[in-house]
Structure 1
Amino acid sequence: MTTRQAEQWSWTHQAMAKVQAENNRSADTHLYKVELPPGWGVDLYVKDESCHRTGSLKHRLARSLFLFALVNGWIHEGTTVVEASSGSTAVSEAYFAQLLGLDFTAVMTRGTSPEKIALIESFGGLCHFVDQADQVYSAAAEVAAACGGHYMDQFTYAERATDWRGNNNIAESIFSQLSHERFPEPQWVVVGAGTGGTSATIGRYIRYHGHATQLAVVDPEGSAFYPAWQSGELSVVTGRSSRIEGIGRPRVEPSFVPGVIDAMFEVPDAASVAAMQHFGDLAGLHAGPSTGTNLWGVWQLVAGMVAAGEQGSIVTLMCDGGERYTGSYNDPAWLAGKGLDPGPHLASLQRFFETGVWTG
């Protein structure tokens, strides 16, 4: 081993120790029970991923991606890390880059919320903007090549960077936290698709451990995941930017694993906003719009169970907090400018909770 190789290994060893120590210091995220009408016989649980240091579900992914890059020898001392992101992954990766003393650049669309941009910059990251969602991939690769850095590429590596068998992943955490509940094995777990990594991890875990739980994935309007799952054609390209930050893509990402998914729902963007707002009143939790997308799928599954006289539990994720969207999804003027009227969908939710019948 040369002196240079020894120095690189020493730095990598220390970097991995820092990331693993950060994980060891971190408590698990809360699993809240949301009270539903007792006569329904359905228990709903929401895993609050906003509790992470960087405020979102993507904290788990960023940690896994950094460890994956380190053990593969892709990141060394002085490497500039570059990521294509809709915001939350970039926030979390900026945090881990700062932890390791590395420069970080996030490539994202100009429509990313100002709150997320400010968080990236607060962790020392730089932001590089493109006009359309389908431009982030090539732009990130070009930025990395220009500075001799490493393009992290969450959309390719999300499904393989996390150990789906267990090892303290989100699925293992969910089942452990449910162990003392009246329905410890949920009938459904409901998640969104951004990279596809979370659904791949949870779906594989369920099958590996022999659970009877089914996996439902929600997708915002105009995203490529839902039509690809429905048709079986993974070459679907919509070219559209999702109006729900954090989920939905203009193409089917390499990390999307359709074979582990039991059901999918395409959710109107205005319905995501309505469910987000309704959730604040129902549970007192201030969530972001992708959580609203999750919940729109949840309510349809709950309604199906009620109609069939089935009892059981459902788990979904609170992906991030609503404070990241003060100037966007929580601003009526911004919503109006985007043509997003949650009113009719809020009325549907009200009818559902009054009757137990889904008409949304």
Structure 2
Amino acid sequence: MSVHDAVTTTGPGVASLVDVTTRDPIDRDWVARAVQLIQADANRSADTHLLTVPLTGCPGVDLYLKDESTHPTGSLKHRLARSLLLYALCNGQLGPGMTVVEASSGSTAISEAYFARMLGLPFVAVMAQSTSAEKIALIEREGGRCHLVADPSTVYDEAARIARECGGLYVDQFSHAERATDWRGNNNIAESIFAQMSQEPHPVPRWIVVGAGTGGTSATIGRYVRYRAVPTQICVVDPEGSAFLPAWRGDDGGRAHPSRIEGIGRPRVEPSFIGTVVDRMMGVPDAASIAAMRFLRERTGLAAGASTGTALYGALRLACELHQAGEAGSIVSLVCDRGERYDTTYGSDAWLERQAIDIDPYAAVLAAAWDSGEWLG
């Protein structure tokens, strides 16, 4: 802290000394270099593909999946991590030598570890012990350190404690996701979807279907469609036990618990979840999410995680509703991350057996929807 004396006049012929206090600033040259490094990474990265998914049972309904798994760190969270680190840098919160700390179920931590290493900063991810071993290995590969906790509800306080004690920055994706991303455009995911849809048969989607982890993606897309005055509706799919769906429908009495579907669903309603821009919410059983993840790979060869399965299950239900009403249109959802991150969990029959998860009934629902446009769920 530096203090400078200044003379100010308080009245006719009266002078007094006041202290003008300035805070030692974070090295602006370092910040400028850090911002340039992150922007250069974005400049090197092509946009993600918008894939067509043929639904033989729903003629006239076109389904698209935006493949966010092709980002350098393999998930939708690459966009978020880039925005969060830029937000911290440009708000004067992050400087040279500081430890970056995050509470994360895995994918955000992988992406933040990537950017922290790019900036030469230590990174610590605070995660539940149940996080897949594959995700932990990916964080460590990016130079991060994993701090595992037994109770997932404590990740927020534990991350804040670690950052406080080491003089680092708790990024807090759950509070900052909706404000760190420019929802008006600037090549965000919503603007990208609409640009890529512009030459399709139904360029304005009837529905965009996403899950909610931080809530940032649904907040960005929900605000964007209102800003652009298009009639696209937002459907948020929510896994078992998550707090988002009960809160959205006004039922806060139920007890939420940590989700078994990594990346989406939360035991509390996160600050970045903006329920007023969500048009519909749909609860999806965990077994249905995993069945849909496996079904997608069988039918298309796309290997994605279970959060993608959650969204696909919801998208197929909406496609069947449009088909049965005799309506046409397009539906867009996301491939959130890569399937190999879950080989020892959702991809393992032994893991499903230990979790007492039976996906067979939902496989039949998915096949009927895909092949005949009939929703059996």
**Same topology, TM > 0.5:** yes
The structure in which a higher percent of residues are strand is 2
- How far 1:237 moved relative to its partner? 7.2
SS at match of 1:45: strand
SS at match of 1:136: helix
Distance 1:143 1:237, change over 3 A: farther
| Per-residue deviation, residues 256-314 of structure 1 (Å, max 9, x unmatched) | 00000000000000000001111112222011000000011101100110111010000
CA distance in 1, matches of 2:352, 2:26: 52
- How far 1:80 moved relative to its partner? 0.3
| Per-residue deviation, residues 173-222 of structure 1 (Å, max 9, x unmatched) | 00000111111100000000000000000000000001110000000010
| Per-residue deviation, residues 297-349 of structure 1 (Å, max 9, x unmatched) | 10110011011101000000000010111111100001111111111100111
- Residue 315 (structure 2) aligns with: 298
- Residue 60 (structure 1) aligns with: 79
Structure 1 segment 190-269 matched on structure 2, within 5 A:
190-231=209-250, 238-269=255-286
- Residue 311 (structure 1) aligns with: 328
Q: Which runs of 5+ in 2 are unaligned?
A: 3-22
One-letter code aligned to 2:151: Q
Distance 1:97 1:227, change over 3 A: same
How high is the sequence identity, in percent, across the aligned residues?
A: 60
Is contact 1:288–1:320 with CA below 8 Å preserved after alignment?
yes
- Residue 79 (structure 1) aligns with: 98
- How far 1:133 moved relative to its partner? 1.9
Q: Do residues 151 (structure 1) and 170 (structure 2) align?
A: yes
- How far 1:131 moved relative to its partner? 1.2
CA distance in 2, matches of 1:144, 1:325: 29
Match of 2:208 among 189, 193, 198: 189
Match of 1:50 among 47, 66, 69: 69
CA distance in 2, matches of 1:237, 1:64: 33
Is contact 1:237–1:251 with CA below 8 Å preserved after alignment?
no
SS at match of 2:271: coil
One-letter code aligned to 2:201: R
SS at match of 1:313: strand
Q: Do residues 31 (structure 1) and 50 (structure 2) align?
A: yes
Match of 1:101 among 106, 114, 120: 120
CA distance in 2, matches of 1:175, 1:127: 37
- Residue 139 (structure 1) aligns with: 158
Is contact 2:72–2:78 with CA below 8 Å preserved after alignment?
yes
CA distance in 1, matches of 2:359, 2:234: 27
CA distance in 1, matches of 2:295, 2:122: 40
Q: TM-score, normalised by structure 1?
A: 0.96
Distance 1:238 1:89, change over 3 A: farther
Runs (4+) of structure 1 exceeding 4 A deviation are: 4-7
- Residue 91 (structure 1) aligns with: 110
The structure in which a higher percent of residues are helix is 1
Q: Do residues 322 (structure 1) and 322 (structure 2) align?
A: no
One-letter code aligned to 1:217: V
Match of 1:174 among 167, 178, 193: 193
Match of 1:165 among 184, 188, 202: 184
CA distance in 2, matches of 1:250, 1:162: 24
Is contact 2:304–2:335 with CA below 8 Å preserved after alignment?
yes
Q: Which runs of 5+ in 1 are unaligned?
A: none
SS at match of 1:330: coil
Is contact 2:207–2:332 with CA below 8 Å preserved after alignment?
yes
Distance 1:153 1:218, change over 3 A: same
- Residue 295 (structure 2) aligns with: 278
SS at match of 1:40: coil
For this pair of structures, how many residues does the alignment match?
358
CA distance in 2, matches of 1:129, 1:309: 50
- Residue 111 (structure 1) aligns with: 130
CA distance in 2, matches of 1:349, 1:51: 25
- Residue 339 (structure 1) aligns with: 356
Is contact 2:316–2:370 with CA below 8 Å preserved after alignment?
no
- How far 1:6 moved relative to its partner? 7.1
Is contact 1:82–1:150 with CA below 8 Å preserved after alignment?
yes
One-letter code aligned to 2:250: S
Is contact 1:238–1:251 with CA below 8 Å preserved after alignment?
no
One-letter code aligned to 2:272: S
CA distance in 1, matches of 2:57, 2:365: 20
